[in-house]
């Protein structure tokens, strides 16, 4: 069950924090490192690793609680703690995106009755910027006004990039920031080789497919769930468990 990278820590041979040999047992059954002086419980570490493993597999908190025979509230708290640490990591590794960039918004949660899309009520509004052959940046925004979207674009992209968007009016001033290509879906212009936003739309599908399993997410939690999807997407070609282990358990990244 425990992945190879974590086994040496779980067995109590190496300190989880400084990665050195020199652990000794304390009277309260914890271990202490003679080098960095950190103390921790191997039993708690084992449970954290098991919970992290199911999080890595993208199981819901409810299914994880059932598999481990652990209280659901505990698992949910752990999962949210992981997501908050992931969000911190994403913000730390963020850089200004450049080159060919696809921009789009998407809507999550809320009631399905009434307007949908940009007129939808009570939904979390996500704005995304995808760097072709690179990474994606996402953020929950209050609205899709020109002021809101352009602020994010100016903060997260390099001037002079090539931007691809749909015809939403808030993107109209992008031509002052770089080359602006507008996709007219109603005229099938998205069928052209480069003039599309298929990449960012594919990311939205990637995220929404995974959100379905949670059967409802509180609106104020969407920033953390969305950052988790950003993280998984951006690191899809890496050993994600190892990275999650360093971020969420060791706290070293």
Model confidence band, residue 121 (pLDDT cutoffs 50, 70, 90) = low
**Per-residue pLDDT at 213:** 83
Containing H/E element for 37? none
Name the pLDDT band for 179 (thresholds 50, 70, 90).
very high
pLDDT of residue 107: 94
What CA–CA distance (Å, rounded) separates 92 from 90?
A: 5
Q: Which helix (H) or strand (E) holds 46?
A: helix 42-56
Q: What is the pLDDT of residue 184?
A: 80
CA nearest 10: which of 244, 239, 245? 245
Burial of 250 per CB tally in 10 Å (0-12, 13-18, 19+): middle
When pLDDT is averaged across residues 236-246 and rounded to a whole number, the result is 91
Per CATH, is 100-234 categorized as 3.30.420.10?
Answer: yes
Range with the lowest mean pLDDT among 26-40, 107-121, 207-221?
Answer: 107-121
190 — pLDDT class (breaks 50, 70, 90): very low
CA distance 33 to 31: 7
Q: Where are the beta strands (DSSP E) in the chain?
A: 23-25, 31-33, 39-40, 100-108, 124-131, 136-141, 162-165, 179-182
Query: For the chain, what's the residue count?
Result: 253
Let me know how many helices (H) and strands (E) the chain has, helices first. Answer: 8, 8
Q: Where are the domains of the chain?
A: 4-93+239-250, 100-234
pLDDT interval class at 199 (50, 70, 90):
very high
Residue 127 · residue 105 · CB < 8 Å:
yes
Mean pLDDT of 116-143: 86
Contacts of 137 (CB under 8 A, 6+ apart): 94, 97, 128, 129, 130, 156, 230
* Mean pLDDT over each residue of the chain, to the nearest integer: 89
The predicted pLDDT at position 198 comes to: 94
Q: Strand pairing of 179-182 and 162-165?
A: parallel
Mean of pLDDT values over 147-171: 96
Specify the pLDDT at position 5.
Answer: 61
Please state the rounded mean pLDDT for residues 65-91.
Answer: 96
> pLDDT (tens digit, 9 = 90+) per residue, 28-75?
989 999 999 999 999 899 899 999 999 999 999 999 999 999 999 999
């Amino acid at each position: 069950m425990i992945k190879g990278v974590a086994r040496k820590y779980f067995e109590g041979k190496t300190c989880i924090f400084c990665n050195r040999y020199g652990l000794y047992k304390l009277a309260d059954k914890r271990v202490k490192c003679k080098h960095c002086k950190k103390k921790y419980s191997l039993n708690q570490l084992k449970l954290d690793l098991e919970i992290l493993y199911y999080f890595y597999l993208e199981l819901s908190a409810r299914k994880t609680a059932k598999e481990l025979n652990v209280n659901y509230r505990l698992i949910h708290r752990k999962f949210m703690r992981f997501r908050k640490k992931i969000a911190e990591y994403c913000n730390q590794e963020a850089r200004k995106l450049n080159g060919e960039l696809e921009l789009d918004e998407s809507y999550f949660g809320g009631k399905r009755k009434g307007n949908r899309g940009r007129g939808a009520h009570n939904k979390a509004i996500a704005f995304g910027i995808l760097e072709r052959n690179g990474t994606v940046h996402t953020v929950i925004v209050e609205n899709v006004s020109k002021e809101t979207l352009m602020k994010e674009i100016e903060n997260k992209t390099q001037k002079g990039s090539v931007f691809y968007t749909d015809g939403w009016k808030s993107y109209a001033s992008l031509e002052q920031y770089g080359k602006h290509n507008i996709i007219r879906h109603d005229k099938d212009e998205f069928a052209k080789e480069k003039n599309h936003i298929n990449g960012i739309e594919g990311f939205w599908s990637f995220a929404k497919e995974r959100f379905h399993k949670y059967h409802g997410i509180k609106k104020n939690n969407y920033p953390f769930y969305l950052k988790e999807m950003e993280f998984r997407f951006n690191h899809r070609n890496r050993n994600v468990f190892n990275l999650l282990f360093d971020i969420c358990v060791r706290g070293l990244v």
